[in-house]
Amino acid sequence: MLELLELQTPLFGPVSLTLTRGECVGIAGPSGAGKSSLLRAIADLDPHAGTARLDGRDMTSFTPAQWRRRVQLLPADPEWWLARVGDHFPRRLVEAARRLQLPDGVWDWPPERLSSGERQRLALLRALAREPDVLLLDEPTANLDADNVAGAETLIRESREARQVCVIWVSHDRGQLTRVADRRFILRGGRLVAETEQACSSSR
């Protein structure tokens, strides 16, 4: 279970939110509203006021590396720095890679050979391979075609069901959030506003 308590930086907040195990919260909002900053603060990558707790334990009671391994942030534009794609993985998720339509030999490719869509799908696998308790997703399917969007959504849903992973899913695609999220919010003026049915229907 993930709790955000009065989390705040100059770019957003304060934000308080509690996610139960396996829950997915969707966050939409205009660009520049601080969605990515919110995810960065939860992963403890930026200085912030307030705190976050995992299963009742404060983030400061973990080492920063432990916290970030358990609370994986998947950035919008993931980086690859080692010689081969497979070097970035503690273990290869071969079956999941096939389901995301990645070529079998992709593990031995140099990262420069990857398309932006392949980068994004592999980055999702790279985060899942670390078996996190929380996934923070920043536009995780922005570069994918329709088939792969569906594949990624399914893979994330299965992680939630099988391993009770909590997910905070940031997207500008309201339709996608309606499909994947249990609760939806809009980050507006730095605050989380619950998306009501009325707001949903008026935005369509």
Partner 1 sequence: MQFVSLSPLDLALAAVLIVVLAALSWAARFAVERELLIAGARTVVQLSLIGLVLKAVFAHVHLLWISLMAAAMVLVAGREAMMRQERRFQGWWGYGLGTLSMFVSSFALTVLALLTVIRTHPWYQPQYAIPLLGMILGNTMTGISLALDRLTQTAWDQRRMLEQRLMLGETAMEAVARIRRHAGRSGMIPVINAMAAAGVVSLPGMMTGQILAGAPPMEAVKYQILIMFLISAGTGFGALVAVWLGSRRLFDQRERLRLDRLSAPKHR
Q: What is the torsional sign of CA 90, 94, 96, 101?
A: positive
Name the residue nearer to partner 1 (CB basis): 130 or 188.
130
Residue 3: CB minimum distance to partner 1, A:
18
119 half-sphere exposure, CB direction, 13 A CA radius: 17
Beta bridge partners of 185: 27, 194
Residue 4: CB minimum distance to partner 1, A:
16
Residue 81: CB minimum distance to partner 1, A:
5
Name the residue nearer to partner 1 (CB basis): 62 or 109.
62
Residue 60: CB minimum distance to partner 1, A:
8
Q: What SS3 class is residue 184?
A: strand
Name the residue nearer to partner 1 (CB basis): 65 or 194.
65
| DSSP element (H, E) containing 170 | strand 166-170
Alpha-helical regions (H) of 71-196: 94-99, 116-128, 146-163, 174-180
Name the residue nearer to partner 1 (CB basis): 114 or 127.
127
Work out the angle between the directed axes of helices 146-163 and 116-128 (0-180°, nearest 10): 0
What Rg value do the Cα atoms of the chain yield, rounded? 17
Name the residue nearer to partner 1 (CB basis): 77 or 145.
77
The residues binding partner 1 (CB under 8 A) are: 43-47, 60, 63-66, 68-69, 72-73, 75, 77-79, 81, 88, 126-127, 130
Kindly give, in sequence order, each residue whose CB lies less than 8 Å from that of residue 59, ignoring residues fewer than 6 positions away: 44, 51, 52, 53, 67
Name the residue nearer to partner 1 (CB basis): 60 or 203.
60
Residue 44: CB minimum distance to partner 1, A:
6
Residue 195: CB minimum distance to partner 1, A:
27
